[in-house]
A and B are shown apart, each in its own frame.
Chain A
Amino acid sequence: MMDWLSMLTGLGKAFVDLSTPYGYWLITIGCAVGILGGALPGVSTTMTVALLAVITYTMDPLWSIILLSACQLGGTYGGSISATVLNIPGTPASAPTAIEGYQLTKKGEAEVALGINVFTSFMGNNLGLIMLLLTMPLFVKLSMMFGPWEMFWFGIFGVFIAANLSEGDTVKGLIAATIGLIISCIGIDPIDGSPRFAYGSTYLMAGIPLIPVMIGLYGFTEVFEGLTDVKVSSFPLKKTSLIGAARLWWKYRWLSFRTSILGYIIGVAPGIGANVSCWVGYDHAKSTSKEPEKFGRGSIEGLIGSETCNMANVPGAYAPVLSLGVPGDAPTAIMLGILMLHGIRPGPMFLITNPQWLYQIVMALFIAGFLFVIIGTYAGKGLVRLFVSTPRTAMSAIVAVLCALGAYAANTNIQDVFTAFVFGVIGIIMNRLGMPVSPLVLGLILGSDLLDVEFRKALLAGKGSITPFFTRGVSMALIAFIAVILFFQYAYPKIRGQHKKDRTVILE
């Protein structure tokens, strides 16, 4: 499936299949909606993907994923626009961009920052796509070696990493993740068939639906917060220069290559996502810079590091979802949910029998990359005017309606809207308590269908013994990887005398 000739043939066929008016229209819509959603403060990329997913229920599953992947890419880039011009990250993944980009804006160089953002994002996406194509054969081979023990550890790894690397206290992250795992158990037990925590309710017996929960946690939470209006000021914008941006990127191309590798690896690890990779790229740029004093004052290297890293993250997130059926981040978790609605569950054999999925997604993301360059270069000024002229409180009301619509459309069940609202309240309580939301979401996604099922399958296969969890080769490699993460998270900073970094972005 994955030799060079078949790869080139597959990519060529994918390009031909996508080069139809319908294909280009779908990718353009996805990309444009993603950029708009990502750029709007209070509307995250995940929420935009969740809301756009509503219109994919009656579509062909592959076209659904193409639309949503273009949306994810556009959203990940779009957050940098408001971050640069207004000092308000449109998405959490653009927080470092706000630090450096807004400083450039204050110096009258907003178009330089916007140009860097768009070109660097374009290159980060393409570098990530190349790595996805090169590493996918390895992932497919690895996935064939995964038994239920390895699937269990991979899921634990994802939940653990999400809890560990999220904002705030790690214990709170672990509590959020565990609560998510428990909530995922509500419904019918997939192995035994008995109801769990349903209390006689037919709604609960079907399990807590994923999309309304994500709309609640990422959408309604922002609606509730949105009535605190944030005053924004903006600066005049000149035309963005792509050639100037390309020259600057070329000057720092090795930094871009290194951070794209980092971003891709983070994308592959389940449950982390661009919200973390942007900081990893930014930290790497700062630690390897010859001019670290420029960071915080409009550093081009800071912009390149964070933007390349978070864009390379996007293709990376598709590696585990296509090979193992484990989402790399929240938007791919939504896409996995859409596939399951269509009766498709990606796994170890999926790409062997459906290789066109990989090539179509790669080609769609490649085309979407060109589209966001065009839209970002020419529509950036219009988007900024939209933000400044629309009060945030009005935007919150519109977003509330969109959230209700999105939650209702999945099953045309009003109780899904109630569920979304309840999780919105849970989300805001968690925010106030300093508890991160992402680990809860990942626990919900990976809990019952993956961790629970694989854990019991492993116990049954081992006749009740837990020894294979710790003695199988791939299992030991995954445990070692978790141990390395723990070491660098806790022991290494103590050796170096450092503490967990505060990632709070201060809005001026």
Chain B
Amino acid sequence: MMESLNRDLRVGCVVLAFGLYVCWASFTMPMRGEFIESPGIFPGLMGILLVLFAAMMIVKAVRKGGRFHVARVVGSTISIMKSQEHRPVIMGIILPAIYIFVGIPLIGFYISSALFMAIMFYVFVEKWRKWLLFLPIALGITGILYLTFNTLFQLQIW
């Protein structure tokens, strides 16, 4: 409970800072005509609202006992990275990130997809390691996707 309040307090501060930046960036946008025609008026108002809501979140967290511990921010980030509970989620982000940011641009969509699925099936699905099942399943799914999207629906995806 206390940890979630402290977290809300930290998040509130980040959102407050973001809101202030949006206000500054919006109200300093160059105007061609009158203020009511300004491109910054709407995002600026949204920035003000964001500052207001962030302040509400901070006040609520402080009233319930939340505190901002600067030293714990780094510590908690490292503990999240190391914790067993969060490890599947972190792996679930890193592996698709490699697939999307490295695989697809370098070797194309279908080859990288087949490789990605084969690796994911091998690592996370133990029963598909027998008879190397992960390989034909990954290739089969990639083949079906190719036939469906490139052949049937004539989309140009490589």
* CB <8 Å contact, A58 and B37: no
Does B136 lie at the interface of the complex (its beta carbon under 8 Å from any beta carbon of A)? no
Pick from A398, A452, A464: contact of B36, CB below 8 A.
A464
A224 CA to B7 CA, complexed, in Å? 21
Pick from B39, B53, B149, B154: contact of A192, CB below 8 A.
B39
Within 8 A of B (CB), among A429-466: 433-434, 447-448, 451-452, 455-456, 459-460, 464
Does B11 lie at the interface of the complex (its beta carbon under 8 Å from any beta carbon of A)? yes
Contact A189 to B39, CB < 8 A, known contacts A227-B88, A404-B99:
yes
For B116, the chain A residues whose CB sits under 8 A away are 397, 400-401
Q: Which of A107-115, A243-251, A408-416 lies at the binding interface?
A: A408-416
Pick from B88, B96, B125: contact of A421, CB below 8 A.
B96
A55 CA to B141 CA, complexed, in Å? 18
Does A485 lie at the interface of the complex (its beta carbon under 8 Å from any beta carbon of B)? no
Does A353 lie at the interface of the complex (its beta carbon under 8 Å from any beta carbon of B)? no
Does B13 lie at the interface of the complex (its beta carbon under 8 Å from any beta carbon of A)? no
* CB <8 Å contact, A398 and B117: yes
* CB <8 Å contact, A192 and B38: yes
For A464, the chain B residues whose CB sits under 8 A away are 34, 36
Pick from B41, B91, B105, B145: contact of A227, CB below 8 A.
B91
For A172, the chain B residues whose CB sits under 8 A away are 57
Interface size (A, Cβ < 8 Å)?
58
Contact A408 to B93, CB < 8 A, known contacts A172-B57, A397-B120, A398-B117:
no
Does A141 lie at the interface of the complex (its beta carbon under 8 Å from any beta carbon of B)? no
For A391, the chain B residues whose CB sits under 8 A away are 124-125, 127
* CB <8 Å contact, A54 and B128: no
Contact A171 to B156, CB < 8 A, known contacts A192-B38, A227-B88, A452-B42:
no
Pick from A182, A223, A421, A460: contact of B50, CB below 8 A.
A182
* CB <8 Å contact, B88 and A228: yes
Pick from B8, B109, B117: contact of A408, CB below 8 A.
B109
Give A380-401 as 1s and 0s: 1 = Cβ < 8 Å from B's Cβ atoms: 0000000000010110111011
Give B37-60 as 1s and 0s: 1 = Cβ < 8 Å from A's Cβ atoms: 111111100110110011011001
Shortest CB distance B134–A (Å): 9
A182 CA to B93 CA, complexed, in Å? 26
For B91, the chain A residues whose CB sits under 8 A away are 227
* CB <8 Å contact, B92 and A396: yes
Q: Which of A4-12, A173-181, A263-271, A281-289 lies at the binding interface?
A: A173-181
Does B132 lie at the interface of the complex (its beta carbon under 8 Å from any beta carbon of A)? no
Pick from A182, A194, A405: contact of B46, CB below 8 A.
A182
* CB <8 Å contact, A224 and B109: no
A407 CA to B11 CA, complexed, in Å? 29
* CB nearest neighbor in A for B142: A401
Does A209 lie at the interface of the complex (its beta carbon under 8 Å from any beta carbon of B)? no
Shortest CB distance B137–A (Å): 8
* CB <8 Å contact, A394 and B4: no
For B32, the chain A residues whose CB sits under 8 A away are 192, 194
* CB <8 Å contact, B120 and A175: no
* CB nearest neighbor in B for A402: B145
For B70, the chain A residues whose CB sits under 8 A away are none
Pick from A191, A409, A421, A425: contact of B37, CB below 8 A.
A191
A191 CA to B155 CA, complexed, in Å? 34
* CB <8 Å contact, B104 and A414: yes
* CB nearest neighbor in B for A180: B46
Does A428 lie at the interface of the complex (its beta carbon under 8 Å from any beta carbon of B)? yes
Does A418 lie at the interface of the complex (its beta carbon under 8 Å from any beta carbon of B)? yes
* CB <8 Å contact, B99 and A393: no
Contact A401 to B46, CB < 8 A, known contacts A194-B30, A197-B25, A418-B100:
no
Does A104 lie at the interface of the complex (its beta carbon under 8 Å from any beta carbon of B)? no
* CB <8 Å contact, A408 and B92: no
10 interchain pairs (CB within 8 A)?
Answer: A57-B155, A171-B56, A185-B46, A225-B92, A396-B92, A401-B113, A404-B100, A405-B113, A428-B93, A433-B11
Q: A57-B155, A194-B29, A401-B145 are in contact. List 15 more A-B contacts (CB 8 A).
A: A171-B60, A192-B37, A196-B40, A223-B96, A224-B92, A397-B116, A397-B121, A402-B145, A404-B104, A409-B155, A414-B105, A421-B96, A452-B42, A459-B36, A464-B36
Q: 4 smallest A-B Cβ distances: which pairs?
A: A397-B120, A189-B39, A393-B124, A227-B92
